[in-house]
Amino acid sequence: MNLNIEQIRADFPILQQQIYKRPLIYFDNAASTQKPRQVIDAIRHYYEHDNCNIHRGVHYLSVKATEAYEEARKEIRQFINAKSTHEIIFTKGATESLNLVASTFGKRYIQPGDEVITTIMEHHSNFVPWQQMCLERRALLRVAGINAKGELDMDELKGLISKKTKLIALTHVSNVLGTVNPVREIIALAHQHDIPVLLDGAQGVSHLSVDVQELDCDFYCFSGHKLYAPMGTGVLYGKEKYLEELPPYQLGGEMIKDVYLDHTTFNELPFKFEAGTPNVEGVAGLRAAVAYLQDLGMENIAAYEDHLLRYATEKLSAIEGVRFYGTARHKASLISFLIGDIHSYDAGMIIDKMGIAVRTGHHCAMPLIDFLKIPGTVRASFAFYNTTEEIDQLVSAILKAREMLT
Protein backbone atom coordinates (compact mmCIF):
# COMPACT_ATOMS: atom_id res chain seq x y z
CA MET A 1 0.00 0.00 0.00
CA ASN A 2 1.43 3.34 -1.07
CA LEU A 3 -0.52 5.64 1.25
CA ASN A 4 0.42 6.43 4.84
CA ILE A 5 -3.10 6.51 6.28
CA GLU A 6 -2.04 7.59 9.76
CA GLN A 7 -0.20 10.56 8.34
CA ILE A 8 -3.12 11.37 6.03
CA ARG A 9 -5.60 11.26 8.92
CA ALA A 10 -3.47 13.76 10.82
CA ASP A 11 -4.11 16.23 7.97
CA PHE A 12 -7.88 16.20 8.66
CA PRO A 13 -8.64 18.12 11.87
CA ILE A 14 -12.33 17.17 11.89
CA LEU A 15 -11.46 13.48 12.14
CA GLN A 16 -9.65 14.05 15.43
CA GLN A 17 -12.84 14.65 17.39
CA GLN A 18 -14.98 12.38 19.54
CA ILE A 19 -18.75 12.24 19.21
CA TYR A 20 -20.95 10.47 21.78
CA LYS A 21 -17.64 9.78 23.58
CA ARG A 22 -16.38 7.74 20.63
CA PRO A 23 -13.93 8.62 17.85
CA LEU A 24 -15.87 10.00 14.89
CA ILE A 25 -16.10 7.55 11.99
CA TYR A 26 -17.06 9.37 8.83
CA PHE A 27 -18.62 7.18 6.13
CA ASP A 28 -20.66 9.88 4.39
CA ASN A 29 -18.04 10.82 1.85
CA ALA A 30 -20.37 10.52 -1.14
CA ALA A 31 -22.40 13.38 0.36
CA SER A 32 -19.36 15.53 1.09
CA THR A 33 -15.73 14.86 1.94
CA GLN A 34 -13.77 16.38 4.82
CA LYS A 35 -11.09 18.97 4.19
CA PRO A 36 -7.38 18.59 4.86
CA ARG A 37 -5.51 21.31 6.75
CA GLN A 38 -3.83 22.27 3.45
CA VAL A 39 -7.23 23.32 2.03
CA ILE A 40 -8.26 25.15 5.19
CA ASP A 41 -4.87 26.92 5.21
CA ALA A 42 -5.26 27.94 1.56
CA ILE A 43 -8.56 29.67 2.36
CA ARG A 44 -7.03 31.38 5.40
CA HIS A 45 -4.03 32.44 3.30
CA TYR A 46 -6.32 33.84 0.64
CA TYR A 47 -8.16 36.04 3.13
CA GLU A 48 -5.00 37.08 4.97
CA HIS A 49 -3.00 37.96 1.86
CA ASP A 50 -4.88 38.04 -1.46
CA ASN A 51 -8.55 38.86 -0.96
CA CYS A 52 -10.03 41.09 -3.63
CA ASN A 53 -12.50 40.95 -6.49
CA ILE A 54 -10.83 39.48 -9.56
CA HIS A 55 -10.41 40.51 -13.22
CA ARG A 56 -10.15 44.04 -14.58
CA GLY A 57 -8.53 45.42 -11.42
CA VAL A 58 -5.21 47.21 -11.90
CA HIS A 59 -4.17 47.33 -8.27
CA TYR A 60 -1.86 44.88 -6.52
CA LEU A 61 -4.41 42.76 -4.65
CA SER A 62 -6.77 42.44 -7.58
CA VAL A 63 -3.95 41.26 -9.82
CA LYS A 64 -2.78 38.80 -7.15
CA ALA A 65 -6.27 37.36 -6.59
CA THR A 66 -6.83 37.10 -10.36
CA GLU A 67 -3.52 35.30 -10.80
CA ALA A 68 -4.40 32.83 -8.02
CA TYR A 69 -7.79 32.15 -9.62
CA GLU A 70 -6.37 31.66 -13.10
CA GLU A 71 -3.53 29.50 -11.80
CA ALA A 72 -6.19 27.28 -10.22
CA ARG A 73 -7.87 26.99 -13.61
CA LYS A 74 -4.59 25.81 -15.13
CA GLU A 75 -4.17 23.20 -12.42
CA ILE A 76 -7.72 21.90 -12.81
CA ARG A 77 -7.14 21.70 -16.57
CA GLN A 78 -4.10 19.58 -15.91
CA PHE A 79 -5.91 17.46 -13.24
CA ILE A 80 -8.55 16.27 -15.72
CA ASN A 81 -6.31 16.73 -18.77
CA ALA A 82 -8.56 19.11 -20.68
CA LYS A 83 -7.04 20.47 -23.88
CA SER A 84 -7.36 24.12 -22.89
CA THR A 85 -8.12 26.33 -19.88
CA HIS A 86 -10.94 27.76 -22.04
CA GLU A 87 -12.74 24.50 -21.41
CA ILE A 88 -12.70 24.82 -17.61
CA ILE A 89 -15.67 26.78 -16.25
CA PHE A 90 -15.86 27.40 -12.50
CA THR A 91 -19.37 26.93 -11.08
CA LYS A 92 -20.80 26.51 -7.62
CA GLY A 93 -21.08 22.75 -7.96
CA ALA A 94 -22.10 19.80 -10.10
CA THR A 95 -25.75 20.85 -9.91
CA GLU A 96 -25.01 24.27 -11.36
CA SER A 97 -22.76 22.75 -14.04
CA LEU A 98 -25.50 20.31 -15.06
CA ASN A 99 -28.20 22.99 -15.07
CA LEU A 100 -25.94 25.22 -17.15
CA VAL A 101 -25.56 22.57 -19.84
CA ALA A 102 -29.21 21.45 -19.79
CA SER A 103 -30.48 25.00 -20.12
CA THR A 104 -28.07 26.27 -22.77
CA PHE A 105 -27.87 23.01 -24.75
CA GLY A 106 -31.67 22.91 -24.80
CA LYS A 107 -31.90 26.46 -26.15
CA ARG A 108 -29.22 25.91 -28.77
CA TYR A 109 -29.86 22.42 -30.05
CA ILE A 110 -33.18 20.90 -28.92
CA GLN A 111 -36.26 21.09 -31.16
CA PRO A 112 -39.71 19.58 -30.58
CA GLY A 113 -39.57 15.82 -31.16
CA ASP A 114 -35.85 15.53 -30.35
CA GLU A 115 -34.69 13.07 -27.71
CA VAL A 116 -32.21 13.06 -24.83
CA ILE A 117 -31.11 9.77 -23.26
CA THR A 118 -30.33 9.37 -19.59
CA THR A 119 -30.47 6.47 -17.08
CA ILE A 120 -32.59 5.35 -14.17
CA MET A 121 -29.60 5.62 -11.79
CA GLU A 122 -29.17 9.41 -12.06
CA HIS A 123 -29.00 11.81 -9.15
CA HIS A 124 -31.85 14.35 -9.38
CA SER A 125 -29.27 16.96 -10.42
CA ASN A 126 -28.64 15.05 -13.65
CA PHE A 127 -32.24 14.02 -14.19
CA VAL A 128 -34.57 16.91 -13.38
CA PRO A 129 -32.72 19.55 -15.49
CA TRP A 130 -33.04 17.26 -18.56
CA GLN A 131 -36.63 16.32 -17.74
CA GLN A 132 -37.67 19.97 -17.38
CA MET A 133 -35.74 21.12 -20.44
CA CYS A 134 -37.39 18.35 -22.50
CA LEU A 135 -40.83 19.33 -21.19
CA GLU A 136 -40.20 22.99 -22.07
CA ARG A 137 -38.93 22.21 -25.55
CA ARG A 138 -41.44 19.42 -26.26
CA ALA A 139 -38.64 16.89 -26.56
CA LEU A 140 -38.58 13.39 -25.09
CA LEU A 141 -36.39 12.16 -22.23
CA ARG A 142 -35.64 8.46 -22.67
CA VAL A 143 -34.40 6.50 -19.67
CA ALA A 144 -32.18 3.40 -19.86
CA GLY A 145 -32.64 0.82 -17.10
CA ILE A 146 -30.35 -1.44 -15.08
CA ASN A 147 -29.94 -5.15 -14.44
CA ALA A 148 -30.27 -6.94 -11.09
CA LYS A 149 -26.67 -6.08 -10.15
CA GLY A 150 -27.28 -2.38 -10.71
CA GLU A 151 -25.31 -2.28 -13.96
CA LEU A 152 -26.57 -0.21 -16.85
CA ASP A 153 -28.57 -2.25 -19.38
CA MET A 154 -26.34 -1.59 -22.38
CA ASP A 155 -28.67 -3.34 -24.84
CA GLU A 156 -31.52 -1.10 -23.76
CA LEU A 157 -29.32 1.99 -24.00
CA LYS A 158 -28.19 1.01 -27.52
CA GLY A 159 -31.82 0.42 -28.49
CA LEU A 160 -32.78 3.95 -27.40
CA ILE A 161 -30.26 5.62 -29.74
CA SER A 162 -31.87 6.97 -32.90
CA LYS A 163 -31.65 9.85 -35.36
CA LYS A 164 -33.68 11.89 -32.88
CA THR A 165 -31.09 11.54 -30.09
CA LYS A 166 -29.35 14.86 -29.42
CA LEU A 167 -27.41 14.00 -26.24
CA ILE A 168 -26.66 11.21 -23.79
CA ALA A 169 -26.34 12.45 -20.19
CA LEU A 170 -25.32 9.91 -17.57
CA THR A 171 -23.44 9.52 -14.36
CA HIS A 172 -19.84 8.29 -14.33
CA VAL A 173 -20.42 6.60 -10.95
CA SER A 174 -23.80 6.04 -9.27
CA ASN A 175 -24.15 7.72 -5.87
CA VAL A 176 -26.55 4.96 -4.72
CA LEU A 177 -25.27 1.77 -6.33
CA GLY A 178 -21.58 2.60 -6.63
CA THR A 179 -21.69 1.32 -10.22
CA VAL A 180 -18.93 2.63 -12.46
CA ASN A 181 -20.58 2.94 -15.84
CA PRO A 182 -18.82 1.76 -19.02
CA VAL A 183 -18.48 5.34 -20.17
CA ARG A 184 -15.73 4.79 -22.74
CA GLU A 185 -17.90 2.25 -24.56
CA ILE A 186 -20.95 4.54 -24.39
CA ILE A 187 -19.00 7.57 -25.64
CA ALA A 188 -17.50 5.60 -28.56
CA LEU A 189 -20.96 4.29 -29.47
CA ALA A 190 -22.59 7.74 -29.21
CA HIS A 191 -19.87 9.36 -31.31
CA GLN A 192 -20.46 6.83 -34.09
CA HIS A 193 -23.86 8.52 -34.35
CA ASP A 194 -22.46 12.06 -33.80
CA ILE A 195 -24.19 12.28 -30.43
CA PRO A 196 -22.37 14.20 -27.67
CA VAL A 197 -22.09 12.68 -24.18
CA LEU A 198 -22.24 14.48 -20.84
CA LEU A 199 -20.84 12.75 -17.76
CA ASP A 200 -21.95 13.65 -14.26
CA GLY A 201 -18.62 13.16 -12.53
CA ALA A 202 -19.74 14.19 -9.02
CA GLN A 203 -18.94 10.68 -7.73
CA GLY A 204 -16.30 9.88 -10.33
CA VAL A 205 -13.56 12.45 -10.02
CA SER A 206 -12.79 11.79 -6.35
CA HIS A 207 -12.24 8.05 -6.82
CA LEU A 208 -10.91 7.54 -10.34
CA SER A 209 -8.29 9.31 -12.32
CA VAL A 210 -10.18 11.22 -14.99
CA ASP A 211 -8.70 12.17 -18.35
CA VAL A 212 -11.38 13.94 -20.37
CA GLN A 213 -9.41 13.76 -23.60
CA GLU A 214 -8.85 10.06 -23.24
CA LEU A 215 -12.52 9.51 -22.31
CA ASP A 216 -13.46 11.84 -25.19
CA CYS A 217 -16.55 12.97 -23.27
CA ASP A 218 -18.10 16.23 -24.46
CA PHE A 219 -18.98 17.54 -20.99
CA TYR A 220 -17.81 16.51 -17.51
CA CYS A 221 -19.32 18.06 -14.34
CA PHE A 222 -18.22 17.85 -10.72
CA SER A 223 -18.38 19.52 -7.30
CA GLY A 224 -15.41 20.68 -5.25
CA HIS A 225 -16.89 19.70 -1.90
CA LYS A 226 -16.88 15.98 -2.79
CA LEU A 227 -13.24 16.40 -3.80
CA TYR A 228 -11.88 17.55 -0.41
CA ALA A 229 -12.38 21.19 -1.48
CA PRO A 230 -14.76 23.89 -0.19
CA MET A 231 -18.51 23.91 -0.70
CA GLY A 232 -19.79 26.28 -3.35
CA THR A 233 -17.12 25.29 -5.87
CA GLY A 234 -17.52 23.16 -8.95
CA VAL A 235 -16.33 22.63 -12.47
CA LEU A 236 -17.90 22.27 -15.86
CA TYR A 237 -15.58 20.87 -18.49
CA GLY A 238 -16.91 21.19 -22.03
CA LYS A 239 -15.28 20.73 -25.40
CA GLU A 240 -14.49 24.14 -26.81
CA LYS A 241 -16.59 23.59 -29.95
CA TYR A 242 -19.73 23.16 -27.82
CA LEU A 243 -18.93 25.90 -25.30
CA GLU A 244 -18.38 28.31 -28.21
CA GLU A 245 -21.79 27.50 -29.67
CA LEU A 246 -23.83 27.48 -26.45
CA PRO A 247 -25.49 30.75 -25.40
CA PRO A 248 -24.58 32.33 -22.03
CA TYR A 249 -26.33 30.93 -18.97
CA GLN A 250 -26.40 33.92 -16.61
CA LEU A 251 -25.82 37.55 -17.46
CA GLY A 252 -23.70 40.21 -15.79
CA GLY A 253 -20.16 40.71 -14.51
CA GLU A 254 -17.14 39.19 -16.20
CA MET A 255 -19.19 37.42 -18.86
CA ILE A 256 -19.92 40.80 -20.47
CA LYS A 257 -17.73 42.30 -23.20
CA ASP A 258 -19.56 45.50 -24.19
CA VAL A 259 -23.01 46.79 -23.32
CA TYR A 260 -24.96 49.19 -25.53
CA LEU A 261 -28.47 50.48 -24.95
CA ASP A 262 -29.95 48.04 -27.42
CA HIS A 263 -27.60 45.04 -27.25
CA THR A 264 -24.70 43.38 -25.44
CA THR A 265 -21.67 41.44 -26.57
CA PHE A 266 -20.27 38.63 -24.47
CA ASN A 267 -16.78 37.77 -23.28
CA GLU A 268 -14.75 34.87 -24.66
CA LEU A 269 -14.39 31.47 -23.01
CA PRO A 270 -14.22 30.58 -20.20
CA PHE A 271 -15.50 33.93 -18.85
CA LYS A 272 -18.65 33.79 -21.02
CA PHE A 273 -20.07 31.31 -18.50
CA GLU A 274 -18.80 32.93 -15.30
CA ALA A 275 -21.31 35.65 -14.45
CA GLY A 276 -20.96 37.71 -11.29
CA THR A 277 -18.28 37.63 -8.60
CA PRO A 278 -17.02 34.07 -8.33
CA ASN A 279 -16.10 32.07 -5.24
CA VAL A 280 -12.44 33.04 -5.33
CA GLU A 281 -11.51 31.72 -1.89
CA GLY A 282 -13.30 28.47 -2.68
CA VAL A 283 -11.31 28.09 -5.87
CA ALA A 284 -8.11 28.73 -3.88
CA GLY A 285 -9.20 25.83 -1.67
CA LEU A 286 -10.04 23.69 -4.70
CA ARG A 287 -6.55 24.30 -6.06
CA ALA A 288 -5.04 23.17 -2.75
CA ALA A 289 -7.29 20.08 -2.71
CA VAL A 290 -6.21 19.05 -6.19
CA ALA A 291 -2.55 19.56 -5.26
CA TYR A 292 -3.13 17.38 -2.18
CA LEU A 293 -4.76 14.60 -4.25
CA GLN A 294 -2.02 14.73 -6.87
CA ASP A 295 0.53 14.41 -4.13
CA LEU A 296 -1.15 11.22 -2.91
CA GLY A 297 -1.71 10.02 -6.49
CA MET A 298 -5.16 9.18 -7.83
CA GLU A 299 -4.02 5.62 -8.68
CA ASN A 300 -2.96 5.08 -5.05
CA ILE A 301 -6.26 6.51 -3.81
CA ALA A 302 -8.27 4.27 -6.16
CA ALA A 303 -6.30 1.16 -5.11
CA TYR A 304 -6.68 1.85 -1.39
CA GLU A 305 -10.39 2.68 -1.66
CA ASP A 306 -10.91 -0.50 -3.67
CA HIS A 307 -9.28 -2.41 -0.81
CA LEU A 308 -11.72 -0.75 1.65
CA LEU A 309 -14.69 -1.54 -0.59
CA ARG A 310 -13.73 -5.21 -0.91
CA TYR A 311 -13.15 -5.49 2.82
CA ALA A 312 -16.50 -3.86 3.65
CA THR A 313 -18.34 -5.98 1.09
CA GLU A 314 -16.87 -9.17 2.54
CA LYS A 315 -17.53 -8.22 6.17
CA LEU A 316 -21.08 -6.99 5.61
CA SER A 317 -21.95 -9.99 3.42
CA ALA A 318 -21.30 -12.18 6.44
CA ILE A 319 -24.03 -10.43 8.47
CA GLU A 320 -27.29 -12.32 8.33
CA GLY A 321 -30.10 -10.18 6.93
CA VAL A 322 -27.92 -7.63 5.13
CA ARG A 323 -28.96 -7.09 1.50
CA PHE A 324 -26.83 -5.04 -0.90
CA TYR A 325 -28.17 -2.68 -3.55
CA GLY A 326 -25.55 -2.45 -6.25
CA THR A 327 -23.26 -5.42 -6.83
CA ALA A 328 -21.82 -4.35 -10.17
CA ARG A 329 -18.54 -5.78 -11.37
CA HIS A 330 -17.05 -2.29 -11.52
CA LYS A 331 -17.84 -0.34 -8.38
CA ALA A 332 -16.35 2.66 -6.64
CA SER A 333 -16.07 3.27 -2.98
CA LEU A 334 -19.57 2.86 -1.51
CA ILE A 335 -22.06 0.25 -0.37
CA SER A 336 -25.82 0.64 -0.13
CA PHE A 337 -27.68 -1.88 1.98
CA LEU A 338 -30.69 -2.71 4.12
CA ILE A 339 -30.82 -4.92 7.20
CA GLY A 340 -33.80 -7.30 7.22
CA ASP A 341 -36.95 -5.19 7.15
CA ILE A 342 -35.48 -2.41 9.30
CA HIS A 343 -36.14 1.06 7.88
CA SER A 344 -32.96 2.79 6.73
CA TYR A 345 -33.60 5.81 9.04
CA ASP A 346 -33.92 3.62 12.13
CA ALA A 347 -30.73 1.77 11.29
CA GLY A 348 -28.95 5.06 10.54
CA MET A 349 -29.95 6.54 13.91
CA ILE A 350 -28.49 3.62 15.85
CA ILE A 351 -25.34 3.54 13.74
CA ASP A 352 -24.96 7.29 14.41
CA LYS A 353 -25.16 6.75 18.16
CA MET A 354 -22.18 4.43 17.78
CA GLY A 355 -20.23 7.42 16.39
CA ILE A 356 -20.54 6.44 12.72
CA ALA A 357 -21.90 8.78 10.05
CA VAL A 358 -23.76 6.95 7.28
CA ARG A 359 -26.43 8.38 4.99
CA THR A 360 -29.96 7.02 4.78
CA GLY A 361 -32.93 7.54 2.49
CA HIS A 362 -33.37 8.05 -1.23
CA HIS A 363 -30.01 9.81 -1.82
CA CYS A 364 -31.65 12.26 -4.26
CA ALA A 365 -32.31 9.43 -6.72
CA MET A 366 -36.05 8.84 -6.43
CA PRO A 367 -36.55 7.25 -9.89
CA LEU A 368 -33.96 4.59 -8.94
CA ILE A 369 -35.35 4.04 -5.43
CA ASP A 370 -38.89 3.66 -6.90
CA PHE A 371 -37.52 1.21 -9.45
CA LEU A 372 -35.92 -0.84 -6.66
CA LYS A 373 -39.25 -0.73 -4.78
CA ILE A 374 -37.64 0.17 -1.46
CA PRO A 375 -38.06 3.25 0.74
CA GLY A 376 -34.32 3.97 0.66
CA THR A 377 -31.01 2.47 1.69
CA VAL A 378 -28.27 2.88 4.26
CA ARG A 379 -25.17 4.07 2.42
CA ALA A 380 -21.61 3.84 3.71
CA SER A 381 -19.21 5.66 1.40
CA PHE A 382 -15.45 5.54 1.86
CA ALA A 383 -12.56 7.91 1.41
CA PHE A 384 -8.80 7.35 1.59
CA TYR A 385 -8.73 8.49 5.23
CA ASN A 386 -10.99 5.60 6.30
CA THR A 387 -9.62 2.33 7.67
CA THR A 388 -10.57 -1.34 7.87
CA GLU A 389 -10.76 -0.93 11.68
CA GLU A 390 -13.52 1.64 11.13
CA ILE A 391 -15.34 -0.85 8.90
CA ASP A 392 -15.12 -3.39 11.74
CA GLN A 393 -16.84 -0.78 13.93
CA LEU A 394 -19.56 -0.42 11.31
CA VAL A 395 -20.10 -4.18 11.40
CA SER A 396 -20.54 -4.01 15.20
CA ALA A 397 -22.98 -1.10 14.83
CA ILE A 398 -25.04 -3.02 12.25
CA LEU A 399 -25.19 -6.03 14.55
CA LYS A 400 -26.33 -3.76 17.37
CA ALA A 401 -29.01 -2.13 15.16
CA ARG A 402 -30.24 -5.56 14.11
CA GLU A 403 -30.37 -6.72 17.71
CA MET A 404 -32.25 -3.62 18.88
CA LEU A 405 -34.70 -3.33 16.01
CA THR A 406 -35.75 -6.92 15.36
Stretch that binds ligand PMP, among 119-127, 205-213, 345-353, 397-405 (CB under 6 A): 119-127
Q: Contact with ligand PMP (CB under 6 A): which of 76, 80, 94, 120? A: 94
Query: According to the binding rule CB under 6 A, does residue 336 interact with ligand PMP?
Result: no
Residue closer to ligand PMP by CB (options 177, 269) is 177
Strands 334-339 and 377-381, bridge-based pairing: antiparallel
Q: How many CA atoms lie within 13 A of 64 on its CB side?
A: 12
Q: How many residues does the chain have?
A: 406
Name residues contacting ligand PMP, limited to 345-374 (CB under 6 A). 364
Query: According to the binding rule CB under 6 A, does residue 179 interact with ligand PMP?
Result: no
Query: According to the binding rule CB under 6 A, does residue 73 interact with ligand PMP?
Result: no
Query: According to the binding rule CB under 6 A, does residue 123 interact with ligand PMP?
Result: yes
**Least CB distance from residue 70 to ligand PMP, whole Å?**
23
Query: According to the binding rule CB under 6 A, does residue 152 interact with ligand PMP?
Result: no
Q: Contact with ligand PMP (CB under 6 A): which of 29, 119, 125, 381? A: 125
**Least CB distance from residue 49 to ligand PMP, whole Å?**
28
Query: According to the binding rule CB under 6 A, does residue 175 interact with ligand PMP?
Result: yes
CA 177, CA 37: separation in Å to the nearest integer? 31
Q: Contact with ligand PMP (CB under 6 A): which of 33, 66, 95, 333? A: 95
CA 182, CA 265: separation in Å to the nearest integer? 40
Residue closer to ligand PMP by CB (options 223, 386) is 223
Phi, psi for 195 (deg, rounded to 5)? -105, 125
Which residues touch 16 (CB under 8 Å, ≥6 apart)? none
Stretch that binds ligand PMP, among 64-72, 134-142, 195-203, 302-310 (CB under 6 A): 195-203
| Site size toward ligand PMP, by CB under 6 A | 14
Strands 264-266 and 256-259, bridge-based pairing: antiparallel
Q: Contact with ligand PMP (CB under 6 A): which of 33, 171, 179, 336? A: 171
Answer yes or no: 364 catalytic. yes
Would you call 150 exposed, middle or buried from its count of C-beta atoms within 10 A (0-12, 13-18, 19+)?
buried
**Least CB distance from residue 126 to ligand PMP, whole Å?**
5
CA 246, CA 106: separation in Å to the nearest integer? 9
CA 68, CA 279: separation in Å to the nearest integer? 12
Query: According to the binding rule CB under 6 A, does residue 342 interact with ligand PMP?
Result: no
Query: According to the binding rule CB under 6 A, does residue 119 interact with ligand PMP?
Result: no
CA 61, CA 71: separation in Å to the nearest integer? 15
If we measure between CA atoms, which residue out of 301, 312, 364 comes closest to residue 334? 312
**Least CB distance from residue 93 to ligand PMP, whole Å?**
3
Residue closer to ligand PMP by CB (options 331, 402) is 331
Helix/strand/coil for 198: strand
CA dist list (Å): 38 to 229, 257, 295: 10, 36, 12
CA angle, residues 196, 219, 369, in degrees to nearest 5: 90
Binding mask 255-284 for ligand PMP (x = CB under 6 A): ------------------------------
DSSP E strands in 35-99: the ranges are 88-91
Contact 206, 32 (CB under 8 A): no
Query: According to the binding rule CB under 6 A, does residue 93 interact with ligand PMP?
Result: yes
Binding mask 196-225 for ligand PMP (x = CB under 6 A): ----x-xx-------------------x-x
Stretch that binds ligand PMP, among 68-76, 91-99, 127-135, 210-218 (CB under 6 A): 91-99
Contact 39, 288 (CB under 8 A): yes
Give Cα 363 to chain centroid, integer Å.
Answer: 13
Amino acid at 227: L
Task: Catalog residues that contact ligand PMP under the rule CB under 6 A.
Answer: 93-95, 123, 125-126, 171, 175, 200, 202-203, 223, 225, 364
Which residues carry out catalysis?
364
